[in-house]
Amino acid sequence: MASLLEVKGLKTQFFVRGGRVRAVDGIDFRVNRGETVGIVGESGSGKSMTALSILRLVPEPGKIVEGSITFDGRDVLAFNDDELRKFRGNDVAMIFQDPMSSLNPVLKVGFQIEEAMKAHDRFTKEQAKERVPGLLSRVRIPDPKRRADEFPHQFSGGMRQRVMIAMGLSNEPGLLIADEPTTALDVTVQAQILEQLRDLNRELGTAIVLITHNMAVVASICTWVVVMYAGRVVEQGPTEAIFAAPQHPYTWSLLRSIPRIDEKLGSKLLTIKGLPPDLTNLPPGCKFHPRCLFAVDRCLTEEPELVTVGPGHESRCWVQMKNVKDPDADLRETPLVADEEAADAAAV
């Protein structure tokens, strides 16, 4: 079955005074119909730029310099202005990180949702207007008729994000891209929004690309994970495989740095040393090696290719975590308390 979205060899760069920032440096992934794919990475990994590239919304001075983006068999990068306009908000919709600033403050919420529909030929003006309360109640906004007549500043953060989702889904797109939809929200609201997205995926069959820096978010709704670092895919695969046995040291470190309730008291929490790389001045060899706990000599000079490490599961590493004997070793060096018994006694 042909995939819904296929990204191959995508390179997006920014031409600034200091040089060329390689925000996205050759990535491949695909999204099948009805699938939920998570793209994970820290700031500067290129995940947001990937999303913007799909809709060709890369801001100046950035440009997509190489690669192909195919949606439903059509070449997105070859669209003319009119085709691009019909593609956006219709075939693929996008919701953004900060719902506070992503909605126009001077226009009514209902109008903004109507507008999304009127821009494309799927509904008439009257139909569009009628659909609004339905869309709002689908994302569980109470009293939708009245609220459609209100302005964004009259909504809370979580509700604004729901409005964005409603707006994004108004034309029943095949794919919804959500760029860090929960980062600006409280933890409790986060859970609600994620649940909302999961329900919509199940009910409508809309494929979702969820972009985040938070592995926990990915675990809750994604079936496929793409891990990015310095503009490249460093690991990719089914969610269970990635979480059960991460092969790339970066993925492994990300998972190990989340505190878990079943850990022994006194074991150290991993932090990834160093800072995100300077994208105008990347190190040779593997881009992650300056921060990697398991680097060997080869990592400093040769950049690894993607290696298949399981069914559908690839990792870009010379070492691969499965070959590391005792990765948690140095984390057990200095416990916080002298011994376990004292710790248990103290806890009682």
Interaction site with other proteins (CB under 8 A): 18, 55, 57, 59, 85-90, 93-94, 96, 98, 101-107, 115-116, 119-120, 151, 153, 164, 167, 274-278, 281, 283, 290-291, 300
To other proteins, the closest distance from the beta carbon of 31 in angstroms equals 18
- Of 119 and 337, which has the nearer Cβ to other proteins? 119
Instruction: List b or e across 233-260, with b for residues whose CB sees 16 or more CB atoms inside 10 angstroms.
Output: bbbbbbbebbeebbbbbbbbbbbbeeee
Closest contact distance (angstroms) between CB of 72 and other proteins is 16
Comparing CB distances to other proteins, the nearer of 93 and 226 is: 93
The residue (of 60 and 339) whose beta carbon lies closer to other proteins is 60
User: Closer to other proteins at the Cβ: 102 or 320?
Assistant: 102
CB 54, min distance to other proteins, A: 11
**Nearer CB in complex with other proteins: 66/115:** 115
Say how far apart CA 170 and CA 326 lie, in whole Å.
Answer: 51
**Helix, strand, coil abundance in the chain, percent, nearest 5:** 35, 20, 40
Closest approach, Cβ 229 to other proteins, in A, equals 14
Which 3 state secondary structure label does DSSP give 286?
A: coil
Nearer residue to other proteins within complex by CB, 265 or 300: 300
Q: How far is the CB of 94 from other proteins (least distance, A)?
A: 5
Q: Which C-beta is closer to other proteins: that of 246 or that of 249?
A: 249
Query: Phi/psi class of residue 266: alpha, beta or left (left: φ > 0; alpha: ψ in -120 to 50)?
Result: left
Q: List 161's β-bridge partners, or say none.
A: none
Give dist(CA 278, CA 287) in Å, integer: 10
Write down the least CB distance from residue 275 to other proteins, Å: 4
Quote the least distance from Cβ 133 to other proteins, whole Å. Answer: 19
Rounded to whole angstroms, how far apart are CA atoms 103 and 151? 9
Hey, what are 329's tokens? 């070793």
CB–CB of 220/36 below 8 Å? no
Give the length of the chain. Answer: 348
Q: Given its phi and psi angles, is residue 292 left (phi above 0), alpha (psi -120 to 50 degrees) or beta?
A: beta
* Cα-based distances in Å from 145 to 66, 148, 280: 46, 5, 50
- Cβ nearer to other proteins, comparing 93 with 225: 93
Give CA–CA dist 38/239, Å, rounded.
9
Joined tokens for residue 41: 């990475």
Shortest Å, Cβ 305 to other proteins: 21
